[in-house]
Amino acid sequence: MPENCKTISLNKMSVGQKGRIREFVVESDDCERIEEMGVTPGEQVEVVRYAPLGDPIEIKIRGYHLSLRKEEAALIQVEVLS
């Protein structure tokens, strides 16, 4: 991995930032459903917005919009692209 690539968890990303999913930090039923929705390692993701009260997050992945809570997003490690 090149030096300038930062890896952070998805809930730390700011609006408009793009990244590539690296891994889920735990394995669980819930993570499985999130992966089934297309949030799989290697896929590009963009943070579209945070809800008015700060939670959940709306992300764009595989060409569609998905919302999930910060709590779950914290389990997803993302390599920041821009």
Binding residues for another protein, rule: CB under 8 A, are 24, 27-38, 40-43, 48-49, 51-56, 58, 62-69, 71-72
Smallest distance, another protein to C-beta of residue 22, A: 13
State which residue, 2 or 54, has the beta carbon closest to another protein.
54
State which residue, 6 or 33, has the beta carbon closest to another protein.
33
The two three-digit tokens of residue 18, written as one number = 């793009």
State which residue, 6 or 69, has the beta carbon closest to another protein.
69
Give the closest residue to 71 by CA, choosing from 6, 18, 10: 10
